[in-house]
């Protein structure tokens, strides 16, 4: 089955590390990254979808970050 996650964070190196960590754990990029201005905090925010194939069935109790 295929898992899906959408990673988000402020547009800084921590976001790049978050995506790099997911890739190192077998997740794959899905689509293009997105950017939006967070007017409340005055910063740009990034988002990147990632997917991963795993065996077994989906459960809403899964901790996707630990997969």
Domain extent listing, the chain:
2-56
Decide if pLDDT at 29 tops 90: yes
Q: What is the mean pLDDT of the chain?
A: 94
* Residue listed under structure tokens 């409340």: 40
- pLDDT tens column, 42-64: 999 999 999 999 998 988 998 88
Q: What is the mean pLDDT of residues 18-46?
A: 96
Q: What is the mean pLDDT of residues 22-27?
A: 96
Task: Locate the DSSP E strands across the chain.
Answer: 2-10, 28-38, 43-53
Could you tell me which of 27, 38, 35 has the C-alpha nearest to residue 64? 27
């Amino acid at each position: 089955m295929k898992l899906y996650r959408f990673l988000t964070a402020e547009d800084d190196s921590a976001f790049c590390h978050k995506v790099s960590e997911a890739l190192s754990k077998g997740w794959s990029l899905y689509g293009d990254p997105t950017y939006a201005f967070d007017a409340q905090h005055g910063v740009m925010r990034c988002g990147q979808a990632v997917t991963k194939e795993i065996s077994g069935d989906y459960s809403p109790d899964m901790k996707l970050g630990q997969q």
